[in-house]
């Protein structure tokens, strides 16, 4: 199925000369949302001096029918067939979105931001695409934020993983009361990544399928570490 990707929302400090941008964070929203979903968090981060030379790219997922939701058309990075998304997966859709996000990374590189100054971030379904894409990208990235999410197409990782990102820091964060993507499924993804010797930082929070203030603080600290 052919899908259309809208132009992403791009945010930066308005007082910064565009030529001074030296870092980019590409942040993917979850199922049914859009790039504006994380605008409040990004706006908060942009108030900090540390991110004055950082560009945030917030892409919008294409509209498509989602099987889990009765074929209802909504923003989605790929189709979901059941409550446990790793049981049956939309491989073509996952790879199409990963290809699009890889193009966004390359766009940042073409505009003067080094690959190792680019972070991929994502929440829920967007986090799955962020993980999938980052682990396969052929140039070393600064880090990955995988929030309330899981690892798709796990059986293909060993064959497709890029050595360039074998040591890229990954922050995985999850709510212990998440009833959309279970804590167990996220922990399973974490354990697989650890077995492959990826440097995973794990955080759990007393929350459901959401973000909390402590998590935002941890995200800020992680970004300041990987984008010094």
CA 102 to each of CA 55, 106, 112, 135, 157: distance values in angstroms, whole numbers, following the listed order = 16, 6, 16, 11, 17
Whether 118 is covered by a domain: the verdict is yes
What is the pLDDT confidence band of residue 225, given thresholds at 50, 70 and 90? very high
pLDDT at 42: 97
Q: What is the mean pLDDT of residues 113-127?
A: 98
Whether 213 is covered by a domain: the verdict is yes
| 52: CATH | 3.40.50.1820
Whether 40 is covered by a domain: the verdict is yes
Q: What pTM, to 2 d.p., does this model score?
A: 0.96
Query: b/e for 147-178, b at 16 or more Cβ within 10 A?
Result: bbbbbbbeeebeeeeeebbeebbbbbbbbeeb
Each residue of 72-101: pLDDT tens digit?
999 999 999 977 777 789 999 999 999 999
What is the pLDDT confidence band of residue 194, given thresholds at 50, 70 and 90? very high
Whether 3 is covered by a domain: the verdict is no
pLDDT at 1: 56
Whether 136 is covered by a domain: the verdict is yes
Whether 4 is covered by a domain: the verdict is no
Which structural domain range is residue 44 located in? 9-226
Whether 17 is covered by a domain: the verdict is yes
pLDDT at 82: 74
> Per the structure block, which two tokens stand in for 64?
């498509």
What is the pLDDT confidence band of residue 17, given thresholds at 50, 70 and 90? confident
Active site residues per annotation:
124, 178, 209
Each residue of 101-113: pLDDT tens digit?
999 999 999 999 9
């Amino acid at each position: 199925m052919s899908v259309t990707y809208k132009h992403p929302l791009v945010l930066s400090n308005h007082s910064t000369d565009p030529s001074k941008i030296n870092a980019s964070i590409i942040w993917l929203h979850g199922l049914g949302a859009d790039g504006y979903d994380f605008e409040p968090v990004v706006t908060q981060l942009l108030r900090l001096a540390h991110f004055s030379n950082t560009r945030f790219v917030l892409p919008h997922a294409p509209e498509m029918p989602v099987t889990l939701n009765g074929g209802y058309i909504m923003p989605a990075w790929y189709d979901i067939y059941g409550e446990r998304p790793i049981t049956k997966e939309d491989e073509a859709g996952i790879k199409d979105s990963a290809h699009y996000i890889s193009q966004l990374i390359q766009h940042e590189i073409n505009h003067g931001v080094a690959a190792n100054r680019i972070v991929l971030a994502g929440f829920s379904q967007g986090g799955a695409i962020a993980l999938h894409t980052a682990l396969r990208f052929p140039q070393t990235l600064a880090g990955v934020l995988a929030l309330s999410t899981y690892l798709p197409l796990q059986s293909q990782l060993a064959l497709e993983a890029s050595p360039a990102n074998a040591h890229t820091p990954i922050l995985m964060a999850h709510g212990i009361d998440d009833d959309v993507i279970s804590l167990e499924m996220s922990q399973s993804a974490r354990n697989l990544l650890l077995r492959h010797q990826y440097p995973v930082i794990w955080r759990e929070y007393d929350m459901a399928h959401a973000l909390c203030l402590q998590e935002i603080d941890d995200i800020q600290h992680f970004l300041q570490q990987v984008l010094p």
